[in-house]
Amino acid sequence: MVGKLQQACILAFAFVFALCCEAYAQTGSPPGVEKGWNLVSSPCDVSLDELRQKLGNDDILVFAWDGQGYVQADAMERGRGYFLNDNAILNSSIVCKNETPLPEGFAVQLHEGWNLIGNPFHRSITFKKAFWEAADLMGAIYAWQGNRLRLLDSSDHMIPFRGYWVHAQAPASLSFAEFNPDIGPGGYDVNCNPFVINRLMPANGAGVTEGDTVILRAVCTEAGQETDVTAAAQWSVDNESVLVPRDAPGEFGAAVQGDAVVMVNYLNNLAYLDLTVMKYTNPLVSLSLTADKTALNLNETAALKVIGTYKDGTTKDLSSLAQFTVAGGAGEVQDGAFAALSEGSASVTAAVDGVTSNPLGFTVRSLILKTLQIEAASDVLEIHETTVVLAKATYSDGSVKPVTADVTWQLNPTDAASIEKSGRFNPLKLGTVNVSASLDGMRSNTLSINVTPKTLRWLMPYGIYGLEPLPCPTDPRYTWCYSHGALRHGVEGKIVVGGEFDNGSTRYLPPPYKFELSDTTVLNITSDGVITTLKPGVCGIRAYMDGVYSEWLWLIVYEQDKPAKHLLLEFSNEETIVEKGHSINIGATYYEKSRFSNSFISHNVTNSAKWTLGNGAAGTISEGVFTGAAAG
């Protein structure tokens, strides 16, 4: 039944507006309802002149429906519906500020068919309550919301100051019941006059777009006093797929494009708000086309990049989506790159979604390779050293271009070395390696690089981490003190090792390392050089590799405070690798903590100390002078 009534209603409404358009040509009645018109009513009688004055618009016209077509009205009668040729919304702040009782015997006469009616009260009532005496004669009910028709049922409310289409099955007299428990739903605890919905976000006048948060406030005015009742009111929406309620009262999320009506109920005071959610659009507004180069030789390519800028200011790389257009016969675009095919010029533009980029010009020149030359930074290397070999090409126009990354390298012997695309030459064997390059069928000159042995001469600590420095004397002759250190028990330290080679060069040596400890009960050291303490004491560490030993690094491991006394061997600025028959000086310094401060006092005890050698066959020592006697 509802479907048939709805269909009949729509057909009848279309028929009504068709009659209306015809009447307009003959009598001056308005055409079919235009976008921006409003269907209104008034809970009191109000003249057209008063309405124009209150709204501040002398061009406002009021149209009533007489059952056959629209007729212009000079006033709005209580309980009747009217169309305004304006989108103005009426409320009690504009007209009918004070509600008056219905006159005795008040009724709205309905003719068979379509009728425009309104709520004669300042407060909402259900259609069931309004039609309680003529419910069996009532057919379809329509509201005009958001410039569209919305089908209602008898449980919906008649909102004050709005008009409605009602279809009557036969002529009827429509009586409106006063509010009392014997007639319909319960009355009001509070009479809001008016009760309105205010939109906080987006602000009034701004459109609501997909993804927006909509924040509404319900305001009840009673006895001239406005009260925000948002939290106390009950909120609902007729289309939750368009407008999704959030946890906070009066807050909604605009989900998809469409129309929705928000209703709020506060102690039986009702208010409605029509909202239209528009589709979110962030159109592309411009394209920027660039290339890594615009002057090319024949058969070269230049990568193209297309950056799009959108309305909201964001940018995006659209290179893979762009359609390219080439003007001029010098080349074409292949897989997102401009390919130089013939001598001349060309202009390229890109397009995405109907937006065209700036034109980008290319120049293609025909060059002939005349010479190919290679050169090395060094032609004598020790094994494990590297050098760089660079290639450059000279063309017919006299230009010289680096082509190291473009050439093909030739090595002889092929297994004696490797060469990277960057030209980095890595020797693998001792001897002479011949190097040449080729490009576009041309062979370069040949370089001979001689690879020689490289012998490790001695080892040394290359870095000491986590160790605390020892108090060292100010005497500049004693500098090796700074190579030793202290370590609190339970704290880790680390040593990295470097080497000096027979050509005088030094460099860091990567782990794994081999170490020797003078006292394995004091500390432990891993092959990566990580030191862990075992107990307080003094321990020496030295590294060895390929039969070569480093100097001893002495560590004092302490529990809480550094020892108040210690004896330290301090070498002078001489190497501790001694040739047979030669001597070096070794200083012995005795440190004791000052009684008056945290500093240490040093005493040179080189001459008074007792000296011993762990390997007496290697040499002799007396008063700090060591003389080498034999290898060891």
Task: Please compute the mean of the pLDDT values over residues 22-33 and round it to a whole number.
Answer: 36
Residues 163 and 213 in one domain: no
Judge whether residue 473 has pLDDT over 60.
no
- Indicate whether 184 belongs to any domain: no
Q: Which of 350, 365, 380 is the last residue of a domain?
A: 365
Domain count along the chain: 5
- Indicate whether 112 belongs to any domain: yes
Tell me, what's the pLDDT at 408? 93
Residues 73 and 130 in one domain: yes
Cα 154 from chain centroid (whole Å):
51
Tell me, what's the pLDDT at 290? 95
Residues 10 and 151 in one domain: yes
Judge whether residue 25 has pLDDT over 50.
no
Separation of alpha carbons 181 and 270, rounded Å: 18
Do residues 356 and 348 make contact, with C-beta atoms less than 8 angstroms apart?
no
> Residue 395's domain is classified under what CATH number?
2.60.40.1080
Task: Please compute the mean of the pLDDT values over residues 575-591 and round it to a whole number.
Answer: 77
Lowest model confidence (mean pLDDT) among 12-21, 32-41, 385-394, 499-508: 12-21
Which residues does 614 contact at the CB level (< 8 Å), separation at least 6? none
Token pair 């590297």 in the structure block, residue: 386
Tell me, what's the pLDDT at 162? 84
Q: Read off the pLDDT of residues 294-316 as tens digits, 9 standing for 90 and up.
A: 988 888 899 999 999 998 889 99
Confidence of residue 599 (pLDDT cuts 50, 70, 90): low
Do residues 362 and 348 make contact, with C-beta atoms less than 8 angstroms apart?
yes
Lowest model confidence (mean pLDDT) among 45-54, 253-262, 595-604: 595-604
Residues 21 and 146 in one domain: yes
Q: Which of 365, 399, 434 is the last residue of a domain?
A: 365
- Residue 13: which of 232, 167, 182 has the closest Cα? 167
Confidence of residue 185 (pLDDT cuts 50, 70, 90): very low
Judge whether residue 190 has pLDDT over 80.
no
DSSP state of 163: E
Residues 417 and 482 in one domain: no
Read off φ and ψ for residue 364, nearest 5 degrees.
-115, 130
Average pLDDT, the chain: 80
Residues 463 and 596 in one domain: yes
How many CB atoms lie under 10 A from the CB of residue 294?
Answer: 16
Q: Read off the pLDDT of residues 256-276 as tens digits, 9 standing for 90 and up.
A: 998 888 888 887 777 888 888
Confidence of residue 205 (pLDDT cuts 50, 70, 90): low
Q: Read off the pLDDT of residues 142-171 as tens digits, 9 standing for 90 and up.
A: 877 656 677 777 777 777 788 888 888 888
Task: Please compute the mean of the pLDDT values over residues 43-72 and round it to a whole number.
Answer: 88
Residues 461 and 434 in one domain: no
Residues 492 and 620 in one domain: yes
Q: Read off the pLDDT of residues 481-497 as tens digits, 9 standing for 90 and up.
A: 555 778 889 999 998 88
Q: Which residues of 70-109 are buried (b: 16+ CB within 10 A; e: fewer)?
A: beebebbbbbbbbbbbbebebbbebbbeebeebeeeeebe
Please tell me whether the peptide bond between 202 and the residue prior to it is cis, using omega within 30 degrees of 0.
Answer: yes
Domain that holds residue 301: 284-365
Q: pTM value?
A: 0.35
Separation of alpha carbons 549 and 515, rounded Å: 9
Residues 360 and 374 in one domain: no
Judge whether residue 464 has pLDDT over 50.
yes
